[in-house]
Chain A
């Protein structure tokens, strides 16, 4: 079956521009997570969606970051007024039972 997919795979943007990253979770997975991995670091939790419950936004690093999810399907992560420190791989994961399954990530480079 299809896994988690993300687009674009790579994004280069100029400082100050807005970017939108997309995640398609595994069909039937109600829980969806966004993480990011900066160079040499582990994955950092950003935001969590579960069904129609209010999302857990506790990991978002600033108010320039926001995310939406339509029902139990696609999610988009938006970064406004990008900064160089936003450069990272942004990973989406969906969860069935206990384990989270990750997409390939979007590598964001802010120049």
Chain B
């Protein structure tokens, strides 16, 4: 039973346009969400996060939106650059109540930004 789902295995966009990566979750106990970026043969790199008390967090070209009622979050990259081409993982944790902050990951979306 996948608790974090990334339904698009891949996404291709043109340089300069917006990339939108989507993620759905089922566990209502999740209260902290993260996006990681992964290049081949490297470990995942933390990109941006959002707490469930917020609905938006922005960091430069990256913005994460959270819709708690729909149990949905998305990562917007604007403008997209060829160097953004990587696998993007959505992850969630249930941090309240003394949790160990362990992450549950989606399967990832391969983003390709074409020059």
Contact = CB atoms under 8 A, between A and B. Distances in A.
A91 B102 contact: no
Contacts, number: 59
Q: Is the interface of A mostly helix, strand, loop or mixed?
A: strand
B100 A99 contact: no
Contact of B101 (A4, A35, A98): A98
B103 to A, nearest CB: 6
A42 B90 CA distance: 9
Contact of A42 (B32, B49, B89, B102): B89
A35 B102 CA distance: 10
Interface residues of B, number: 24
Given A43-B89, A45-B104, A50-B100, A98 B95 contact: yes
B49 A99 contact: yes
Contact of A48 (B43, B102, B106, B108): B102
A43 B42 CA distance: 13
Contacts of A42: 4, 6, 89, 105-108
B104 A104 contact: no
